[in-house]
Amino acid sequence: MSAVFLPPLDYSIVSSDAVQVAPASRVMLDEPGLVARSAAQTLTMTFNMGDQSYDTIAVIGTNLLSSDRVRVRIGNNAEMTSGIMFDTTVQAWTGNPPLDKAITYIPLNNTFSALYVRIDITSSRTFVEVSRVIIGKRLEVDGIDTEPNITPVSGSIIDDGPGWTSADDYRTRMAWKANVGNVLASSYWTDWHPFLKRVGKHAGFLFIPQTESDSIQLQAGLMRHKEDANIVPVTYSRVRVELNLLEV
C-alpha cells in the first residue's frame, strides 16, 4: 500500500457556476467551514494553472454520495470545446462511508502542464458543496512506518464547577505522528525537501495513509504540520522523516 502527500499548487479560478453567497474562491482556502455551493445538482469550476505541472487532483470536503460523479478535463482551451488532453469521469468515492464530508482523489495518468483544468460535479443531492480543491504533484511513498500514533483531538471546551460540568461542542480532529523511514538521501532532496519547504506549517495538504484501503474516507484528510518535520539520518545514504500532523 502507498501513502500519499499532496501539496497544493497556486491557481486562479476562471469561471464557476457556484452561487454568489458561496463562491468558488472558497475552494482555494484551507477553511473547512467555508464551502463553494451550487444552486442545483451540478457544480462546474475551471482553474488556470499557469505554467505549473501537476499529476493529481483532489476534491475535498464535499457532500457527495458514493454514486455521484466527478468529471475532470484538462486542456489549453478554458471552454474545453477543443484540444482536450485528458478527460475522465470517476465515482465520487468508494469503500466505507465518511463520517461527515467526503474526498474524491484523482491521480492522473500522466504529468500535465496544460493551462486549464475543468471540474464538473454531478450529484443526486439538491446541491453540491466543496470545501477545498487541491491540484498538485503528489509525493507517493511505499507507506508510513508501522505503529503510527493516531489521536482524536477534541476541540470542545469543558468547564467544571462545584457539582456541574459545561461543554462547548467543537469538532474533533485527527492527529497523526507518523514516520517514513528508509528514505534515500537523494529522494529526500528531490521529493521531500520541496514538499516540506512548500507547505511549512501554514499550508494544508491532502494526506492519505493507505491508498488501497477501504477506509480512505475515514483515514485521509486535509492536514497541516503541527510541528516542524524532523529529518533523522539513519545511514550515510538514508534518512527517516518524522511527521506530526493535525487535521485542518
pLDDT level of residue 167 (50, 70, 90 thresholds) = confident
DSSP single-letter state for residue 108: E
Give the model confidence (pLDDT) of 109-149 as tens digits. 999 999 999 999 999 999 999 999 999 999 999 999 999 99
Q: At which residue does the C-alpha cell 486549464 appear?
A: 116
pLDDT over 80 at 245, yes or no: yes
Q: Compute the residue count for the chain.
A: 248
In 3-state terms, what secondary structure has residue 98? coil
Long-range contact pairs involving 193-198 (C-beta distance under 8 Å, separation at least 24): 195/5, 195/7, 195/139, 196/225, 196/229, 198/7
The secondary structure of 148-183 as a DSSP string is -EEEEEE--EEEEETTEEEEE---EEEEEEEEEEEE
180-239 confidence digits (pLDDT tens): 999 999 999 999 999 999 999 999 999 999 999 999 999 999 999 999 999 999 999 999
Q: What is the pLDDT of residue 169?
A: 87
What average pLDDT does this structure show over 160-177? 91
pLDDT digits (tens, 9 = 90+) for 65-81: 999 999 999 999 999 99
Q: Domains in the chain, start-ordered, CATH in brackets?
A: 3-138 (2.60.120.260), 141-247 (2.40.30)
Average pLDDT of the residues in 71-92? 96
* Residue 171 or residue 138, greater confidence: 138
Q: Quick one: what percent of the chain has pLDDT higher than 90? A: 93
If you average pLDDT over every residue of the chain, what do you get?
96
- Within a 10 A sphere around the Cβ of 134, how many other Cβ atoms? 25
Top-confidence residue, 92 or 160: 92
**Side-chain half-sphere CA neighbours of 32 within 13 A:** 19
pLDDT for 161 equals 87
Taking the complete model, does pTM exceed 0.85, yes or no? yes
Q: What is the pLDDT of residue 168?
A: 84
Report yes or no: 18 and 36 within 8 Å, Cβ to Cβ: yes
Contacts of 89 (CB under 8 A, 6+ apart): 69, 70, 71, 72
